[in-house]
Amino acid sequence: MQRAGAEEAAGGAGAAPAGRLLKRELRLLESIFHRGHERFRIGSACPDEISCEFVPGPGARAGGSASRGPPPGPVRIHCNITESYPAVPPIWSVESDDPNLAAILERLVEVRKGNTLLLQHLKRIISDLCKLYNLPQHPDVEMLDQPLPAEQSTQEEVSSEEEDEEMPEDTEDLDHYEMKEEEPADGKKTEDEGIGKENLAILEKIKKNQRQDYLNGAVSGSVQATDRLMKELRDIYRSPSFKGGYYAVELVNDSLYDWNVKILKVDEDSALHNDLQILKEKEGTDFILLNFSFKDNFPFDPPFVRVVSPVLSGGYVLGGGAICMELLTKQGWSSAYSIESVIMQISATLVKGKARVQFGANKNQYSLTRAQQSYKSLVQIHEKNGWYTPPKEDG
């Protein structure tokens, strides 16, 4: 593989900067996979971000299944490109919790590096998606191997007239900027619709932190978990229950894998509601604080959920703050569950289990270590005895 990318990045005389090479890649992509393409479409493209979608179409079956049913819908894919491209590969994500799609993106590490890494990544993605949906390889994919479009100014013009060199680049940037602004139907504007400005800022901060972690070689989590958690958080931010003040969500240290959830409203006819009103008078807080901890294999394993405060009796809350609910175990969990539905179910279960605030209790009795120990014992007990008649005193 050629090493021209490194030489150009070093600034050799007459070498095209990596940014200009990237723009030529983007022009080629847009010329091949326009918005009306039958199989793959570039929705928006600029030097730091691309939104696109794969359209399986009629006859497609996920995993090559021959079973009848509606064809799968479009696969929406996003790409973030850092200033260090092509030394740092593009960062891909997909709007789905399908592990097959996550696996396709994870296999991109096998693609050898080079100047046109973006094009080679997309070639691999489209080819693998065609295989996944039992579709023939689209002939346009081979066009990604053709030479890049010529630059809009010759090398002699670049050497002698630097001002003339800048004009095509500025115009190009403007074209890409306008393309993003003109895309209200199927891009960031659609997925962000209904989300408040403060919460949009949180989502954007998460994305920036992820990019920085990638550059620093400190990536945590997995592609599938990160994509799903971003979707869950986005869905929560546009949820009527969230906007109605039934609960609040805060990321611990800006980590997508560690959430503090405040249950702000419970059944007004419950004893727990009255206890929370008294708690507000005594301590200035009237909510139940939960902590959700997610692992790399989410959503295929449940989050670990515990009560942080206040100390409760009843409500299927165990020692240390663990919660006795089957849906929070591998046995009862489903990857189809949304985090909001889990939050609302926990809120209802606390009331159903007649949870009460233990005023004056030692607040230190709730800890992560004790909650994990209680949860482990809980799982072992129910694996042997089932979940048919949980003891009232401990879940």
Q: Annotated active-site positions, please?
A: 324
Rounded to the nearest 5 degrees, what angle is found at the Cα of 171, between the Cα atoms of 169 and 176? 95
Cβ–Cβ < 8 Å for 256, 206? yes
Concatenate the DSSP letters of all residues of 107-154 into one string.
GGGGSPP-TTHHHHHHHHHHHHHHHHTT-PPPGGGGGGGSPPPPPSS-
Q: Around Cβ 99, how many Cβ atoms within 10 Å?
A: 15
The alpha carbons of the chain give a radius of gyration, in whole angstroms, of 26
Long-range contacts of 28-35 (CB under 8 A, 24+ apart): 28/119, 28/143, 28/144, 28/146, 28/148, 28/149, 29/118, 29/119, 29/122, 29/144, 31/149, 32/140, 32/143, 32/144, 33/140
Cβ–Cβ < 8 Å for 116, 149? no
Cβ–Cβ < 8 Å for 43, 187? yes
CA separation for the pair 306, 370 (Å, rounded): 10
Give SS3 for 289: strand
Q: Give the list of residues 6+ apart from residue 306 with CB closer than 8 angstroms, or none.
A: 290, 291, 320, 321, 322, 323, 366, 368, 371, 375
Rounded to the nearest 5 degrees, what angle is found at the Cα of 25, between the Cα atoms of 19 and 28? 145
Q: Around Cβ 34, how many Cβ atoms within 10 Å?
A: 11
Enumerate the β-bridge partners of residue 155.
none
Long-range contacts of 148-156 (CB under 8 A, 24+ apart): 148/21, 148/24, 148/25, 148/27, 148/28, 148/116, 149/24, 149/27, 149/28, 149/31, 151/16, 151/20, 151/24, 155/14
